Structure formats: structure tokens, C-alpha cells
Amino acid sequence: MRRAAIVAAARTPIGRSRKGRLATIDAWSLARTAVSAAIDRSGVAPSDIEDIVLAESMQGGGVIARHTAVSLGLNHVPGLAVNRHCAGGLGAVQTAVASILAGALDVAVAGGTESMSTMARSLKAGADGSWNPWAPMSHPETPEAPAFDMSITVGENTARLAGLTRRDVDEWAAYSQGQAIATIDAGHFADEIVPVKVPTESGGEEDYTTDEHPRRGVTVDTLAQLPVLHPELESATVTAGNAAGVNDAAAALVITSEDYAKAHGLAPLGFVRAWGTVGVDPVETGLAPIGAIERALGKAQLAVGDVEAWEINEAFCSVPVAVTRKLGIDANIVNLNGSGCSLGHPIAATGARMVVTMLGELGRRNASLGVVSMCAGGGMGSALVLERA
């Protein structure tokens, strides 16, 4: 039976959109940096790469994967654009792995890229010939699940459906910030991050290497001082402090068949054991990881207790709280390095970034099995089971 081996992983630091150090670096440049680093780290001959699959969500269309291939001199490599909203990066990895398991490919690069700082703004033609601002909806608009207000559709609905309080989600947010800062201070992200060249005030360039979204000194008490985004809602929970950031980053992985890795003397970081993706009523978007995790674990023939480390993306902190409680996951092994609230959520890149980080965490813990999972706009959820090599 074929297995898909991850032989290299790389990501850029995560920047704060519009006001951070990556604000002038577009998604194409971020992708080129991450993909180039992953290939360099892999030991794979560039001539052996057969496809690049990259997620992109807010960049206006096109195929950044193919643009990246050409910009790196890989003219023989096609590219595929994937969009599953927040779960696009996971979808890209799953797509590449599926092609390898099917025997269609032996070597692929997969990941995601997002620059919310430089995202495209769209116009749509009216019947009268006018041009009006426009954005695609993730799902049909309803009062219970607004298409353009995820703080209600995901954050508040998840808290309400799971019976969570403002303190429940603030406690998780403070925990996440603390975990991210501790990981940064320990230098654990150093091996996964590739520097990005950023402009300096003097007109030169310098390497930028550190995630800038995490905040020091965050406590439940400081979070409690923030106003809720929807005071008109009874028992509202969502604030700027317990929601994901708006961010810029890219991440990439080189994935090969196990046979290719063995034949070329490559040392895999890990294997993709299984995955699951589900759709739910958009009202229940934040609960979608529950079904995705159950499906993925079922395909891997594993139980919740078999998993040694988890990351459940904090699109809003109500999501990991609800999911861990529903599935009986030990919260002490969830989001050990922070997640969307603290590290940030560069939409199409996040899923791939989670895989990169989980591989590092499994290595540090000398653990075998990890799961990454997230909800996605429109009422979707995805999960991926990783096995350390």
C-alpha cells in the first residue's frame, strides 16, 4: 500500500495585515519564499517535482502555484489553485496526498498563501453598465448565518450552540497567547520559519523571521476589558481579543511517495495517515471540526485518546473550546503553540502552516500521532491525521 511522506516543510513568519512587517509583500512573493525553502530543504531534485498545489482565498483568482513554478525556473511543473476558504491549505495538502496515493504523482509541493494586506478588491458590472464593489459569498445569506460577518456565523453561533460563556472563550484566548509566546521565546519556530526580505526605513532590506501577531501579557482580566462586537446579542462572547487575526503568510510542504523517499535516501518528517472533510448547516460552521475529526479518526482506525497533540484553529476561540468538550479531548494537549487567535489566521495558508507546526511539535514531544483541524466558511470542516516518521 502506497504512503505519502512529507519530506520537508517551511513557512514564512506570520505578519499583521496592513500594519505589519509583511504588509508590502504580496501573496505571490510569500508563496515563492515558502515553496523555494521547502524544496531546498527536501533534497528532492527540482526536475522530479511533478505538481504544485497551493491554496489561495482572497487574491482575486489566477493560479499562484503555476506562477510560483515559473518564477522559480520550474517551467515543467504545472500548478493547481485550491480554495476551501479557511481550510484551503489543508485541502491543498489533501489533494497532493490523494494524487500520490493514487499513483498519479510521486513528488508534489503543497501549501497555501495569503496576503490580506494586498488582497484584491473586486467590482461587478450592473445591468446599467455601472461597476459596484463586490465580494463572493461563502454561503447563501440568512439572518442566523450572515455571509459577511463570521463573528456571528462562527463565533457567536458556536458559543450559543455549545453553551459557552464569555469567560470560557477569554480563558482559551489567554491560554493561546501564552502558548504562542512561550514557543517563540523557546526558539521552537526557528526551524520551520524561512526569512522574508522586508523593506527597511532606510530603503534597504532585512530578513524578517518572527511571528508578530502574538501579544505578551494577555490575561483573562485584560481580555475582559474589551467590548463585545455585538452588544445587541444576549450573552455575546466575541471580542477582538478572542477572535483570529487578519494576517499575511505562506507555508509549503514537499510530499513524495514513500517509495520515492526510500529510493532517494530522504528522511521523512512524517506521513499523512488520513483526513476527513465535512459540510454542515452554515449556522453550525464552528462545530464542523467535530464531524471532520470523527471522519478522519475513523478512516485512520484511531480513537481520540490515541492522539498525542492537536491543533484546532481558533477562527474564534469558541471553536476549540466547543470541539474539545464535545469530543472529550484533553485540552492540555491542544494548541500547544497557539493558533489563530494568537499566531494569526492567514486564511489560505493556515491549514498548511498547521501541518508544518504539528510536524515540529511531534518531533519535540517524541510523539507519534497528531491531528490538525479547522472550520471553514460556508459551513465546512476539515481534519488531517499526521504520523511522525
Residue pLDDT, tens place only, 356-365:
999 999 999 9
Q: Are 319 and 157 in contact (CB under 8 A)?
A: no
Residue pLDDT, tens place only, 304-335:
999 999 999 999 999 999 999 999 999 999 99
- Whole-model pTM: value is 0.97
Residue pLDDT, tens place only, 261-286:
999 999 999 999 999 999 999 999 99
Residue pLDDT, tens place only, 10-58:
999 999 999 999 999 999 999 999 999 999 999 999 999 999 999 999 8
Q: Residue 374 pairs with which residues in a beta bridge? A: 382
User: Is 345 a catalytic site residue?
Assistant: yes
Among the listed residues 85, 86, 139, 317, the single catalytic one is: 86
Neighbours of 104 (CB within 10 A): 11
Q: Residue 203: CB partners within 8 Å, gap ≥ 6?
A: none
pLDDT for res 61 = 81
Q: Dihedrals φ, ψ of 43, to 5°?
A: 80, 5
Whether residue 136 is predicted with pLDDT greater than 90 in this model: the reply is no
Domains along the chain with CATH numbers? 4-119+245-388 (3.40.47.10)
* Residues 322, 160: Cα–Cα separation, whole Å: 10
User: Is 341 a catalytic site residue?
Assistant: no
Residue pLDDT, tens place only, 48-104:
999 999 999 988 788 999 999 999 999 999 999 999 999 999 999 999 999 999 999
Q: Residue 224: CB partners within 8 Å, gap ≥ 6?
A: 166, 167, 170
Instruction: List the one residue out of 316, 371, 365, 367 whose CA is nearest residue 339.
Output: 316
* Residues 288, 383: Cα–Cα separation, whole Å: 10
pLDDT for res 134 = 85
If 0-12 CB within 10 Å is exposed, 13-18 middle and 19+ buried, where does residue 356 land?
A: buried
User: Is 230 a catalytic site residue?
Assistant: no
Q: Determine which of 93-97, 116-120, 192-196, 280-284 has the lowest per-residue pLDDT on average.
A: 116-120
Residues of the chain above pLDDT 90, percent: 93
Q: Determine which of 198-202, 234-238, 293-297, 329-333 has the lowest per-residue pLDDT on average.
A: 198-202
- Number of residues assigned to the chain: 389
Q: State the average pLDDT over residues 246-260.
A: 98
Among the listed residues 67, 85, 317, 375, the single catalytic one is: 375
Q: State the average pLDDT over residues 210-235.
A: 97
C-alpha distance from residue 24 to each of 196, 200, 248 (Å)? 11, 11, 10
Q: Secondary structure of the chain: what % helix, strand, coil (to 5)?
A: 35, 25, 40
Q: How confident is the model at residue 244 (pLDDT cuts 50, 70, 90)?
A: very high
Q: Are 251 and 34 in contact (CB under 8 A)?
A: yes
pLDDT for res 58 = 85
* Residues 312, 347: Cα–Cα separation, whole Å: 14
Which helix (DSSP H) or strand (DSSP E) does residue 288 occupy? helix 288-300
Q: Are 71 and 32 in contact (CB under 8 A)?
A: yes
